[in-house]
A = this chain, B = another copy of it.
Amino acid sequence: MTTETIDGVAVTTRANVYFDGKCVSHGITFPDGTKKSVGVILPASLTFSTGAPEIMECVAGACDYKLAGSDAWVRSEAGQKFSVPGNSKFEIRVADAYHYICHFG
């Protein structure tokens, strides 16, 4: 079951562009002030750093990820989530496209 739309939010019109456009997201804010982002990672092997803890929810496509301190690459596909601790890192490999919702905290 994937989350196809998120209702009743404010969207930030300016995109977040990371890694020369290999990752593009738009921020969304809920009425209670909660912030998330919706984005896509294009074919690439990237390393992301976290500030707050994050939950990455795949809404389409797929990726393989590896958390800091782990040697295991794990597949994540549409409808699946993975958690990343705060002040940490994760590696991600995308062959086609990985569409996601990033939940913070």
Contacts and interface: CB of A to CB of B under 8 A. Distances in A.
Contact of A15 (B2, B6, B11, B24): B24
Nearest to A59: B13
Using C-beta atoms within 8 Å of the partner chain, give the interface range for chain A. Answer: 20 to 34
A10 B7 contact: yes
Interface of A is mostly: strand
A67 interface: no
Total identical chains: 2
A2 to B, nearest CB: 8
B101 A13 contact: yes
Interface in A17-52: 17, 20-22, 24, 26, 28-29, 38-40, 42
26 contacts: A2-B13, A3-B13, A4-B14, A5-B11, A5-B12, A5-B13, A6-B11, A6-B13, A7-B10, A8-B8, A8-B9, A8-B10, A9-B9, A11-B11, A11-B28, A11-B38, A13-B38, A14-B59, A15-B24, A15-B38, A15-B99, A20-B42, A21-B21, A21-B24, A21-B42, A24-B24
